[in-house]
Amino acid sequence: MRLPLYLALLGLAAGPAVAADRPNLVFLFADDQRHDALGCVQKEQGDKGRFPWFQTPSMDRLAAEGGRFRNAFVVNALCSPSRACFLTGRYSHANGIYNNRTPFPADAVTHASLLRKTGYATAYVGKWHMGSQADRPGFDWVASFTGQSVYTDAPFLVNGTAERAPEWTDDRSAGYAIRFLEKDRPKDKPFLLVVGFKAPHGPFAPPERLKDKFAGAKARAVPNLDVAPGFNPDLGKNVKPPAGDEVDVNLNYYRCIAGVDENVGKILDALDRLKLAEDTVVVYSSDNGFYQGEHGLADKRSGYDESLRIPFLVRCLKWWPGVKGVVRDEMVLNIDLAPTLLDLAGVAVPKEMHGKSLKSLLSGDKPKDASLFRSSFFYEYFRENGGAAGAGTNPGGFNTPTLTAVRTPTHKLLRYADNADWTEVFDLVADPFETKNLARDPAHADLRKKLEAEHDRLAKELAYVVPADVPKTAAPPRPAPAAGWVLDYDFTKDAGEQVRDASGQGSHGTAKNAALVDGHDKAKAREFKGDGVIEVTRTEGLNCAGVPFTVEVTLKAEGKGGVILARGGATNGFALFLKDGVPTFAVRNAGKATTAAGKGSVVGKWVKLTATLAGDGKMTLAVDDAAVGEAKAGLLPREPNDGMQVGADLASPVDAAAAKEKFAGRIERVRVHRGPLPGK
């Protein structure tokens, strides 16, 4: 792409010079907002809309003052991978972020890094979610938090300084974004501001002011609610067809989006107040779609349109003059964001980027054929560690198998890497809800052949590969032991940040700010000073759904609070923590919290804490093998979404109050036993 003459003369491709008419760029995006969770889309769909009562006035304002891309998709429907695609303009297999655990490379080429090199001030606010990564490569000004964090009182790190406040997290993100716009942005530079909202990701906790919004509303039924996914036909046996035209829906999901909408409005108002609106391009989108019961599914990941499609709104008041309320039908992708922002700023788009600039579409002229911009696109998803795909799986996402797809404006092919029998072909014109698989229909053999040829062409063009560490799904995963130790950290064979598991189950860990030190009686330990954590690798053995388990930790606490070990979150999970120096064991079962607490402080002395959830649901907490507390909770109904950490609870917390405090002290031994202990 040739640079405009004025940019070439200023040397902007290589230096920090600034042109006065380069646009400011604001990218706002939600987490898990499906494409039709917009008031303007529901209004457009009329009696075919699932949620006709839903309203998003601020997002609708963006669409009315600019335009909406009706056919916007992601190329990987998972949080971290999609975020990396937005940043790099490249597919997951190429940019290296194909799961939710991997930190984003510090040297990656992104729209932010390139814009910063050419004179832009860059700021990142809110949710980042690349493993437990603390830095934000490519951004100068940062107000963000680690991982999923929490919906209220999230621990933001603001340019290196920790800040907490008892407010809804996305309210605070909007506040930090406005602070950057009003006070902290350099006034002599154009700027890039990216705001990642946490909502509406589970556990779907709206702000108190919206807790009753849409009360009593239901969703309209659609034809695929009782149609099982092709990779799990047995799921259909558990899905009942809807009785009538309406079904219950998770209203907190929509209340969370309503909260995001309010904060989008605050940022738009700030741009107006600061007289920046005319000179600022605003883009609004989401990292992926989300199922609301379609195909019997929740979550996202798989290749049906409810998972792939996202909102995509663009307002360019100065660069899109006279255009208001335009709706475009071209297929656009999340990988198109980076080339578009660069193109609008007059920065050369690297040839390595897979996406296409949308700048040519930012006009009121409707093309005769929308497919001229893009006639097909490739989709990929790589299975994460979790249960096996196939019979008996739950409707969450961890069991979704590795898959690829090709989608055209009219048809779709879904391929599953480890089972050719699951292949699906859909006619999206005749069957927009993807209810009838044509893959084995002789009458559509030519269609399948054409789609497979296009799939293979795109895969070759993109140099598609499956990363070596992606688990397979055709063969069952390594079975978890019926009863046995599934994690054993004694730290004797550790090297640096690598924590070795001696149980044989591969539950190794990564220590951050938890130095290897001496314990007592010539043992080794990890020292935590309030900011340390060990991230535990998710393994089959650590799946404690439906079975008893025991957690055993030997430690010497120096502080009175903090999480010692946690797995899961506000829906399902467990945590062992200190409260005023007293050990406490908490279990979350389908959202209900139950605790068993000790009777005295254990601070300042070496103790062994043992927390057990027995087969009858009884919780027991022991100090040095002497029982000190018990309660009744029930076994966990399903595997927790969140992983396990030692020394912190970084994701959706099992106990929010405990997660706020940071554990300080030395931990000498950590063990987890799956199944009943011998002799118990």
Tokens of 671: 């063990």
The answer to whether 540 and 480 have CB atoms below 8 angstroms apart is yes
Mean pLDDT of 454-459: 98
Residues 257 and 382 in one domain: no
Cis peptide before 200 (omega within 30 of 0): yes
Mean pLDDT of 229-249: 79
Environment class of 365 (CB within 10 Å of its CB; exposed 0-12, middle 13-18, buried 19+): exposed
pLDDT band at 131 (very low <50, low <70, confident <90, very high): confident
Whether 497 maps to a domain, the answer reads yes
Q: Domain containing 333 — which CATH number?
A: 3.40.720.10
pLDDT band at 75 (very low <50, low <70, confident <90, very high): very high
Residues 439 and 494 in one domain: no
Q: Domain containing 521 — which CATH number?
A: 2.60.120.200
Mean pLDDT of 434-454: 96
Residues 301 and 415 in one domain: no
Q: Domain containing 434 — which CATH number?
A: 3.30.1120
Residues 639 and 580 in one domain: yes
Q: How far apart are CA 605 and CA 583, in angstroms?
A: 13
* Tokens 């792409």, located at residue: 1
Residues 441 and 335 in one domain: no
The pLDDT value recorded for residue 2 is: 34
The pLDDT value recorded for residue 21 is: 79
The pLDDT value recorded for residue 642 is: 78
CB proximity list for 369: less than 8 A, separation 6 or greater: none
The pLDDT value recorded for residue 405 is: 98
Residues forming beta bridges with residue 552, ordered by sequence position: 610, 671
pLDDT surpassing 80 at residue 210: yes
Q: How far apart are CA 476 and CA 490, in angstroms?
A: 30
Q: How far apart are CA 450 and CA 413, in angstroms?
A: 10
* Domain boundary pick from 314, 336, 368: 368
The pLDDT value recorded for residue 650 is: 81
Residues 516 and 648 in one domain: yes
User: Which of 37, 240, 30 lies closest to 129 in space, CA to CA?
Assistant: 30
pLDDT surpassing 90 at residue 609: yes
Residues 548 and 418 in one domain: no
Residues 434 and 499 in one domain: no
The pLDDT value recorded for residue 680 is: 60
Cis peptide before 166 (omega within 30 of 0): no
The pLDDT value recorded for residue 12 is: 36
pLDDT surpassing 50 at residue 99: yes
What is the domain extent for residue 49? 5-368
Q: What is the pTM of this model?
A: 0.75
pLDDT tens-digit series, residues 106-121: 999 999 999 999 999 9
Residues 397 and 364 in one domain: no
The pLDDT value recorded for residue 482 is: 63
CB proximity list for 107: less than 8 A, separation 6 or greater: 137
DSSP letter, residue 28:
E
Domains contained in the chain, number: 3
* Domain boundary pick from 368, 403, 424: 368
pLDDT surpassing 50 at residue 9: no
pLDDT surpassing 70 at residue 386: no
Residues 439 and 517 in one domain: no
Q: How far apart are CA 38 and CA 433, in angstroms?
A: 19
pLDDT tens-digit series, residues 551-607: 999 999 999 999 999 998 777 899 999 999 999 999 998 778 999 999 999 999 999
DSSP letter, residue 135:
-
Count of C-beta atoms within a 10 Å radius of residue 616: 9
pLDDT surpassing 70 at residue 199: yes
pLDDT surpassing 80 at residue 394: no
Mean of per-residue pLDDT scores for the chain: 90
pLDDT band at 10 (very low <50, low <70, confident <90, very high): very low
Mean pLDDT of 538-544: 83
Q: How far apart are CA 57 and CA 386, in angstroms?
A: 39
pLDDT tens-digit series, residues 14-57: 333 344 579 999 999 999 999 999 999 999 999 999 999 999 99
pLDDT surpassing 80 at residue 318: yes
Residue burial 21-47, b: 16+ Cβ < 10 Å; e: rest: ebbbbbbbbbbbbbbbbbbbbbeeeee
Give backbone dihedrals phi and psi of 646, rounded to 5 degrees, phi first.
-110, 130
The pLDDT value recorded for residue 387 is: 41
Whether 477 maps to a domain, the answer reads no
Count of C-beta atoms within a 10 Å radius of residue 538: 22
Q: How far apart are CA 135 and CA 5, in angstroms?
A: 36
Whether 474 maps to a domain, the answer reads no
User: Which of 650, 634, 98, 167 lies closest to 402 in space, CA to CA?
Assistant: 98
The pLDDT value recorded for residue 660 is: 87
DSSP 204-271: ----GGGTTTTTT--EEP-TTTT---TT-GGGGGG-PPPSSSEE---HHHHHHHHHHHHHHHHHHHHH
Whether 479 maps to a domain, the answer reads no
Distances (CA, A) of 543 to 470, 508, 548, 590, 635: 18, 15, 11, 16, 12
DSSP 321-332: TT--SEEEEEEE
CB proximity list for 503: less than 8 A, separation 6 or greater: 484, 485, 486, 487, 488, 541, 671
Residues 160 and 249 in one domain: yes
Residues 428 and 491 in one domain: no
pLDDT surpassing 90 at residue 643: no
Least confident interval from 131-135, 148-152, 469-473, 492-496: 469-473
Whether 153 maps to a domain, the answer reads yes
Mean pLDDT of 356-384: 87
Q: How far apart are CA 557 and CA 323, in angstroms?
A: 63
